[in-house]
Amino acid sequence: MVRHIAPKGFSSTVQSEFYNDLITSNNKTTRRKREKVKGVFAIGFLAIVTLFTIDSSSPKASITSSIPANELFPLSDRSLQEMEKYKQEYAHERPLSSKTTMLLGIFSTNDDEKYVHRRTYIRETYLNTGDPRICKLSEYIHQREYNMHPICQVPYTFIIAAGGKHRPYDHDDKEPITITPKKSKRINDEDDCTYLNIRESMEDGKSATYFKFGAEIASKYGIDYITKLDDDTIPSPTMLMDFIEDELPPSPFNRRIFGGRVWTTKANIYYGAGAFYFLSADLAHHISHNLSAKDRKSLSHFPKTEDADMGKFLFTHDRPLKFVNLSAHQFWEHDFKTEEAFRTRWSEILDPNRKEPRLPRRAKSVPWKHLCPNDILNPDGL
Ligand SMILES: *[C@@H]1O[C@H](CO)[C@@H](O)[C@H](O)[C@H]1NC(C)=O
Ligand SMILES: *[C@@H]1O[C@H](CO)[C@@H](O)[C@H](O)[C@H]1NC(C)=O
């Protein structure tokens, strides 16, 4: 039975075991299957006829053999006809062979043309390697709805706050969490942006609202981890996939796990630095549902600091949390603010002939600088 469909925009350069069947359209596949079924029956029928001929040497056998097999053995293709029903019945179950999934939220904004432009070259670099395990969120949802085993494991979306000035910074009311903004030239038609129904900000409520959205998507479409990354961060997609598959357990074992490059506050809270960090779906739910916008505001640092505040929110949990420390295995780099710097570093990350590969890199394990401004050892950290 066909349980997989080829994703939209499937790149023919990447093959996987089940793809061979999928490239042909459903109609063609069905037709081919029918022909196969007919063929099998025809052979079976001929075998029976042959036996019959040998046994009785009756001349009648040659007359019946001219009747097409499918008229003698009418059998509709039941499995294909009932596929819709079958899919619905089991749609809520994760397949046993489930692979870990992660939502990749790339923080962007329409506030300035330069950020709109960043999306263009991000799409052309690390989002454009042809790996079918990474896809647009809309494509992932499409695959989940029609497919027991989506090929895509890492859906991505650009996160933009588009609620306007009359909306709060942190989503905490009954209004929808996402909106479709009115057409404008900045709303590019790539179908890969998520517009949060809040006022735009860097440090204030955008991440909490994103994780609220992520928790919702996670429970609807089976996402195990939710990642936030900046639009000046360049991850290595292959190392990201290896990390997900080797280190991050899928549901139901994805509990109370978060990670990133270690950063700390004076208040002894450690957290994943803002360039790239992730939370398991239950933790995304915790910080966005167990805490209200008011709780989050009172927990926030002054001035508000997106990643450090996230650390404070997470540590309100009353169970032990598992932190995946990526300081010694950082598979991304960040702080590439111009297209040229971004593209140059991306080609270096890809370069197989570099004497010293760019990634993974070992980050300074304890970032002293902001903790001990007058530190006598090494102000840049260890
Ligand atoms: C989160 O809230 C739910 C009820 O909404 C409660 O059952 C649960 O214990 C809370 N979890 C934490 C960690 O506070
Ligand atoms: C994180 O890993 C680094 C490098 O291995 C280590 O030095 C540091 O102590 C670790 N920090 C935490 C909080 O686990």
Let me know if residue 139 belongs to a domain.
Answer: yes
Tell me the average pLDDT across 343-350: 97
- Same domain, yes or no: 253 and 111: yes
User: Among 229-238, 243-252, 318-327, 363-372, which is the least confidently predicted range?
Assistant: 363-372
Let me know if residue 136 belongs to a domain.
Answer: yes
Q: What is the pLDDT of residues 224-282, one digit of tens each?
A: 999 999 999 999 999 999 999 999 999 999 999 999 999 987 777 889 999 999 999 99
Ligand 1 contacts CB of residue 286 (under 6 A): yes
Position of tokens 């499995």? 79
159 forms bridges with which residues in the sheet?
107, 194
Let me know if residue 17 belongs to a domain.
Answer: no
Let me know if residue 362 belongs to a domain.
Answer: no
- Same domain, yes or no: 50 and 132: no
Its domain, for residue 58, covers: 22-81
Give, using CA atoms, the residue closest to atom 7 of ligand 2: 365
- Same domain, yes or no: 208 and 325: yes
Let me know if residue 361 belongs to a domain.
Answer: no
- Tell me the pLDDT band of 149, cut-offs 50, 70 and 90: confident
Instruction: Using the mean position of ligand 1's atoms as its centre, give its distance from the Cα of residue 258 in Å.
Output: 18
Let me know if residue 364 belongs to a domain.
Answer: no
- Same domain, yes or no: 221 and 250: yes
CATH code for position 296:
3.90.550
- Same domain, yes or no: 53 and 124: no
Q: Treating both helix axes as pointing N-terminal to C-terminal, what angle do 137-146 and 206-221 enclose, rounded to 10 degrees?
A: 20
Instruction: Using the mean position of ligand 1's atoms as its centre, give its distance from the Cα of residue 284 in Å.
Output: 13
Ligand 1 contacts CB of residue 317 (under 6 A): yes
Tell me the average pLDDT across 317-345: 97
**C-alpha dihedral sign at 300, 302, 304, 307:** negative
- Same domain, yes or no: 269 and 124: yes
Q: What is the pLDDT of residues 2-50, one digit of tens each?
A: 334 444 444 443 334 333 434 344 444 444 445 554 555 555 455 544 4
Ligand nearest to the CA of 255: 1
- Residue 83 confidence (pLDDT) above 70: no
This prediction's pTM? 0.75
Q: How many domains does the chain have?
A: 2
> In angstroms, how far is the first alpha carbon of the chain from the final one?
57
Let me know if residue 26 belongs to a domain.
Answer: yes
- Same domain, yes or no: 264 and 325: yes
